[in-house]
Amino acid sequence: MLMLLCSFQSRLIAGTHRAARASISMSSSDPLKVFVVGGTGLIGSALLEMMATAKAPGVDCVGYCNSRMGVKLSPGGGEEKTTWKAEVKFTDEYVASCASPGTDICIADCSASEAVSDNYAKWLAKGWHVATPNKKCNSGPLDRYQKCMNASNATGGGKWYVEATIGAGLPVVSTLRTLVATGDEIRTVRGIFSGTMSFLFNTWDGKSPFSEVVAQAKAAGYTEPDPRDDLNGMDVARKVVIAARESGLMISLEDVSIESLVPKNLEDVSAEEFMKRFREGDASMMEKATKADAQGNVLRFVGEVDVRAKTAEVKLAEFPKSHPFAGLSGADNILEIETKRYGDEGSSTPLIIRGPGAGAAVTAAGVYGDIIALSKSK
């Protein structure tokens, strides 16, 4: 199989925001002005640090914000903080005030906010660009997604970069777009889209209680604070929707068949009670693992899009131990893309993309890569 192996490495250092201030420079070529939403979060802080220590020509960070305050960065290295009042958060006027009049503005949305993504269509329509790992918009309601696409494709519209919404810094979205743009026909996209679920099933031996593996992963910070947010399959489903849309299949979350690993009777209990009672399903999980092992297989939590059949699903499935999905380690993601060229029809093997699919540094690198590409396309 053709392997596309990608890895991004970045060291997060102290003084991220001080370094970001020092990265600002005046330029007669009107560099792209970047404003980071969620700039004090893990991904936002990593992005600010990258823009400071690996400064790209034609890119200036002019400010950042979180839900409590905004920070305007000046060319001299100073900063001006503004505390938001009541429910009023950052506004377009505030962002514009951070940049010089008439310059290109890029919003780097490093939040996971639905409310922030509601602004994308408006920003794109006014010529502002958006680079983001936030999956809420390009996996959300189809009409909102279409408004963003229409605004971006219109004359004078801003560009919408979403590489980091699947696989952190892996080149998944750009690969799908290249295949489509060059006339290839995508048949299926399937893979292990979740770093958390990858870690769980790469770690679990199928013999020890699955609930113990989840508890250990939670304690180590590999899962969400409430592991049900990983186990219910919704994160994978969002990425499946994004992959489907990039492949030309316009579906919504409601169209994805999801096999949740959260028992029905534990869906509505508290997070604490869930962790105490999740072991009730250990026997069932062990039975599935034993059955798979007897066939020489392993269990993996996967998402799949079948473009021709117009179907999408998230499920726990068996794969031979020789399959690429069975040979992952840690929290790696892996996607298998079958197309007219890459597959039986083209007398080829599917295209495989594999690498780290989670983590602040690799995700920020994906966003920064989009920003740099945007600056070069001006």
Active site residues: 239
Q: By three-state DSSP, how is residue 122 classified?
A: helix
Token look-up 């020789």 returns: 322
In whole angstroms, give the CA distance from residue 326 to residue 293: 12
Q: Which of 219, 201, 205 is nearest to 316 (CA)?
A: 201
DSSP string, 72-112: EE-TTS-EEEEEPPTT----HHHHHHHS-TT--EEEEE-S-
Q: What is the DSSP letter of 56?
A: P
Which burial class, exposed, middle or buried, applies to 337 when counting CB atoms under 10 A from its CB (0-12, 13-18, 19+)?
Answer: buried
Q: How far apart are CA 175 and CA 337, in angstroms?
A: 10
Q: What is the DSSP string of 304-368?
A: EEETTTTEEEEEEEEEETTSGGGG--TTEEEEEEEESSSSGGGTSPPEEEEEE---HHHHHHHHH
